[in-house]
Chains A and B, each alone.
Chain A
Amino acid sequence: DAGITQSPRHKVTETGTPVTLRCHQTENHRYMYWYRQDPGHGLRLIHYSYGVKDTDKGEVSDGYSVSRSKTEDFLLTLESATSSQTSVYFCAISEKGLNEQFFGPGTRLTVL
Protein backbone atom coordinates (compact mmCIF):
# COMPACT_ATOMS: atom_id res chain seq x y z
CA ASP A 1 0.00 0.00 0.00
CA ALA A 2 1.09 3.53 -0.74
CA GLY A 3 2.32 5.27 2.38
CA ILE A 4 -0.53 7.67 2.98
CA THR A 5 -2.05 8.51 6.31
CA GLN A 6 -4.86 10.85 7.20
CA SER A 7 -5.62 12.41 10.55
CA PRO A 8 -7.91 12.48 12.29
CA ARG A 9 -9.81 9.44 11.02
CA HIS A 10 -13.04 10.57 12.60
CA LYS A 11 -14.13 13.97 13.83
CA VAL A 12 -17.35 15.47 15.12
CA THR A 13 -17.49 19.22 15.34
CA GLU A 14 -20.00 22.03 15.58
CA THR A 15 -21.13 24.49 12.97
CA GLY A 16 -18.89 27.54 12.80
CA THR A 17 -15.75 25.93 14.18
CA PRO A 18 -12.53 25.67 12.18
CA VAL A 19 -11.34 22.22 11.22
CA THR A 20 -8.04 21.06 9.73
CA LEU A 21 -7.51 17.67 8.18
CA ARG A 22 -4.04 16.37 7.52
CA CYS A 23 -2.71 14.13 4.79
CA HIS A 24 0.79 12.74 5.15
CA GLN A 25 2.69 10.71 2.54
CA THR A 26 6.00 8.89 2.61
CA GLU A 27 6.19 8.29 -1.16
CA ASN A 28 7.70 11.65 -2.11
CA HIS A 29 5.02 12.08 -4.77
CA ARG A 30 4.65 15.50 -6.29
CA TYR A 31 0.86 15.61 -6.64
CA MET A 32 -1.62 15.52 -3.79
CA TYR A 33 -5.39 15.82 -3.90
CA TRP A 34 -8.31 16.28 -1.52
CA TYR A 35 -11.67 14.75 -2.39
CA ARG A 36 -14.99 14.50 -0.65
CA GLN A 37 -17.37 11.61 -1.14
CA ASP A 38 -21.08 11.94 -0.62
CA PRO A 39 -23.99 9.62 -1.45
CA GLY A 40 -25.42 10.50 -4.83
CA HIS A 41 -22.42 12.62 -5.80
CA GLY A 42 -19.48 10.27 -5.83
CA LEU A 43 -15.95 11.54 -5.40
CA ARG A 44 -15.45 15.22 -6.06
CA LEU A 45 -12.19 17.11 -6.12
CA ILE A 46 -11.86 19.94 -3.59
CA HIS A 47 -8.28 21.17 -4.07
CA TYR A 48 -5.04 19.77 -5.35
CA SER A 49 -1.34 20.48 -5.17
CA TYR A 50 1.26 20.03 -7.86
CA GLY A 51 4.23 20.91 -5.70
CA VAL A 52 5.27 22.60 -2.49
CA LYS A 53 3.28 25.82 -2.14
CA ASP A 54 1.60 25.14 -5.51
CA THR A 55 -2.11 24.55 -5.13
CA ASP A 56 -5.25 25.05 -7.16
CA LYS A 57 -9.00 24.72 -6.85
CA GLY A 58 -11.05 21.72 -7.82
CA GLU A 59 -14.72 21.27 -8.52
CA VAL A 60 -16.07 22.00 -5.01
CA SER A 61 -13.56 24.37 -3.41
CA ASP A 62 -15.92 26.91 -1.79
CA GLY A 63 -15.51 26.93 1.99
CA TYR A 64 -12.17 25.09 1.89
CA SER A 65 -8.55 26.16 1.84
CA VAL A 66 -5.36 24.13 1.58
CA SER A 67 -1.70 24.47 2.32
CA ARG A 68 1.37 22.51 1.38
CA SER A 69 4.55 23.69 3.06
CA LYS A 70 6.49 20.47 2.48
CA THR A 71 6.27 17.58 0.06
CA GLU A 72 4.87 15.09 2.52
CA ASP A 73 2.03 17.10 4.04
CA PHE A 74 -1.15 18.52 2.52
CA LEU A 75 -3.59 20.23 4.86
CA LEU A 76 -7.28 20.87 4.22
CA THR A 77 -8.93 23.58 6.32
CA LEU A 78 -12.59 24.33 6.78
CA GLU A 79 -12.47 27.90 8.08
CA SER A 80 -15.99 27.77 9.49
CA ALA A 81 -17.56 24.34 9.22
CA THR A 82 -21.13 23.97 7.99
CA SER A 83 -23.45 20.98 8.07
CA SER A 84 -23.13 20.69 4.28
CA GLN A 85 -19.47 19.82 4.81
CA THR A 86 -20.38 16.63 6.63
CA SER A 87 -18.73 14.05 4.42
CA VAL A 88 -15.96 11.53 4.03
CA TYR A 89 -12.73 13.19 2.96
CA PHE A 90 -10.07 11.35 1.03
CA CYS A 91 -6.55 12.38 0.25
CA ALA A 92 -4.83 10.97 -2.83
CA ILE A 93 -1.31 11.13 -4.19
CA SER A 94 0.19 10.74 -7.64
CA GLU A 95 3.74 10.67 -8.87
CA LYS A 96 2.93 12.50 -12.10
CA GLY A 97 -0.10 14.14 -13.59
CA LEU A 98 -2.10 11.67 -15.73
CA ASN A 99 -0.78 8.85 -13.62
CA GLU A 100 -2.55 6.66 -11.15
CA GLN A 101 -3.79 8.21 -7.94
CA PHE A 102 -3.56 6.30 -4.66
CA PHE A 103 -5.93 7.04 -1.84
CA GLY A 104 -5.51 7.41 1.88
CA PRO A 105 -7.84 5.75 4.38
CA GLY A 106 -10.20 8.71 4.65
CA THR A 107 -11.55 10.99 7.37
CA ARG A 108 -15.19 10.89 8.36
CA LEU A 109 -16.25 14.40 9.37
CA THR A 110 -19.57 15.21 10.98
CA VAL A 111 -20.61 18.83 11.45
CA LEU A 112 -23.50 19.23 13.87
Chain B
Amino acid sequence: QKEVEQNSGPLSVPEGAIASLNCTYSDRVSQSFFWYRQYSGKSPELIMSIYSNGDKEDGRFTAQLNKASQYVSLLIRDSQPSDSATYLCAVNKAGSQGNLIFGKGTKLSVKP
Protein backbone atom coordinates (compact mmCIF):
# COMPACT_ATOMS: atom_id res chain seq x y z
CA GLN B 1 0.00 0.00 0.00
CA LYS B 2 1.32 3.42 -0.94
CA GLU B 3 1.88 5.69 2.04
CA VAL B 4 -0.23 8.60 0.82
CA GLU B 5 -2.73 8.09 -1.95
CA GLN B 6 -4.71 10.57 -3.95
CA ASN B 7 -6.88 10.27 -7.01
CA SER B 8 -4.76 11.78 -9.79
CA GLY B 9 -7.76 13.25 -11.55
CA PRO B 10 -8.28 15.38 -13.40
CA LEU B 11 -11.25 16.45 -11.33
CA SER B 12 -13.42 18.85 -13.25
CA VAL B 13 -16.06 21.00 -11.55
CA PRO B 14 -18.10 23.96 -12.77
CA GLU B 15 -17.47 27.41 -11.39
CA GLY B 16 -19.33 27.96 -8.13
CA ALA B 17 -19.54 24.27 -7.27
CA ILE B 18 -17.91 22.43 -4.36
CA ALA B 19 -14.72 20.58 -5.20
CA SER B 20 -13.95 17.58 -2.99
CA LEU B 21 -10.41 16.24 -2.86
CA ASN B 22 -9.57 13.07 -1.00
CA CYS B 23 -6.46 11.50 0.48
CA THR B 24 -5.78 8.28 2.37
CA TYR B 25 -2.66 7.44 4.31
CA SER B 26 -1.20 4.22 5.64
CA ASP B 27 0.63 5.18 8.86
CA ARG B 28 -1.83 5.10 11.75
CA VAL B 29 0.42 7.16 14.04
CA SER B 30 0.75 10.14 11.72
CA GLN B 31 -0.13 13.35 13.54
CA SER B 32 0.09 16.20 11.05
CA PHE B 33 -1.75 16.61 7.78
CA PHE B 34 -1.39 19.28 5.15
CA TRP B 35 -2.87 20.40 1.87
CA TYR B 36 -0.74 22.23 -0.65
CA ARG B 37 -1.78 23.88 -3.89
CA GLN B 38 0.64 23.87 -6.80
CA TYR B 39 0.10 25.83 -9.97
CA SER B 40 1.86 24.56 -13.07
CA GLY B 41 5.52 25.54 -13.03
CA LYS B 42 5.31 26.93 -9.50
CA SER B 43 6.23 25.72 -6.03
CA PRO B 44 3.77 24.12 -3.59
CA GLU B 45 1.86 26.60 -1.46
CA LEU B 46 0.46 25.59 1.91
CA ILE B 47 -3.28 26.18 2.12
CA MET B 48 -4.43 24.08 5.09
CA SER B 49 -3.02 22.16 8.02
CA ILE B 50 -5.00 19.91 10.34
CA TYR B 51 -3.89 17.99 13.39
CA SER B 52 -7.02 16.64 15.09
CA ASN B 53 -10.13 14.80 14.01
CA GLY B 54 -12.96 16.84 12.61
CA ASP B 55 -13.28 19.84 10.36
CA LYS B 56 -11.16 22.93 10.03
CA GLU B 57 -12.41 25.85 7.99
CA ASP B 58 -10.46 28.72 6.46
CA GLY B 59 -12.40 30.89 4.07
CA ARG B 60 -13.62 28.77 1.18
CA PHE B 61 -11.49 25.83 2.26
CA THR B 62 -12.44 23.10 4.72
CA ALA B 63 -10.10 20.29 5.71
CA GLN B 64 -11.60 17.16 7.22
CA LEU B 65 -9.64 14.55 9.15
CA ASN B 66 -10.75 11.09 10.21
CA LYS B 67 -7.86 9.28 11.86
CA ALA B 68 -9.84 6.08 12.43
CA SER B 69 -10.41 5.77 8.70
CA GLN B 70 -6.98 7.24 7.86
CA TYR B 71 -8.62 9.73 5.61
CA VAL B 72 -8.18 13.44 5.04
CA SER B 73 -10.11 15.58 2.61
CA LEU B 74 -10.23 19.12 1.31
CA LEU B 75 -13.42 20.86 0.28
CA ILE B 76 -13.32 24.00 -1.81
CA ARG B 77 -16.59 25.90 -1.80
CA ASP B 78 -17.64 28.31 -4.54
CA SER B 79 -14.84 27.03 -6.77
CA GLN B 80 -13.22 29.59 -9.03
CA PRO B 81 -11.20 29.14 -12.22
CA SER B 82 -8.22 30.44 -10.21
CA ASP B 83 -8.52 27.32 -8.03
CA SER B 84 -7.46 25.22 -11.02
CA ALA B 85 -4.22 23.62 -9.87
CA THR B 86 -2.78 20.40 -8.54
CA TYR B 87 -3.54 19.76 -4.87
CA LEU B 88 -1.02 17.82 -2.84
CA CYS B 89 -1.81 15.96 0.34
CA ALA B 90 1.07 15.57 2.81
CA VAL B 91 1.31 13.52 5.98
CA ASN B 92 4.08 13.57 8.53
CA LYS B 93 6.27 10.49 8.69
CA ALA B 94 5.99 9.06 12.17
CA GLY B 95 9.23 9.03 14.10
CA SER B 96 10.93 11.49 11.79
CA GLN B 97 12.06 15.08 12.23
CA GLY B 98 8.89 16.43 10.72
CA ASN B 99 9.49 14.71 7.41
CA LEU B 100 6.47 14.77 5.12
CA ILE B 101 5.25 12.09 2.75
CA PHE B 102 3.44 13.60 -0.22
CA GLY B 103 0.75 12.13 -2.38
CA LYS B 104 1.17 12.51 -6.12
CA GLY B 105 -1.54 15.13 -6.25
CA THR B 106 -4.99 15.63 -7.72
CA LYS B 107 -5.35 17.96 -10.66
CA LEU B 108 -8.41 20.17 -10.32
CA SER B 109 -9.95 22.03 -13.22
CA VAL B 110 -12.68 24.60 -12.56
CA LYS B 111 -14.65 25.39 -15.69
CA PRO B 112 -16.16 28.89 -16.11
Contacts and interface: CB of A to CB of B under 8 A. Distances in A.
B98 A45 contact: no
B98 A99 contact: yes
B70 to A, nearest CB: 18
Contact of B98 (A31, A41, A104): A31
Interface residues of B, number: 22
B46 A97 contact: no
B95 to A, nearest CB: 11
B97 A90 contact: no
Interface of B: 31-32, 34, 36, 42-46, 49, 88, 90, 92, 96-100, 102-105
Interface of A: 31, 33, 40-45, 48, 50, 56, 58, 90, 94, 96-106
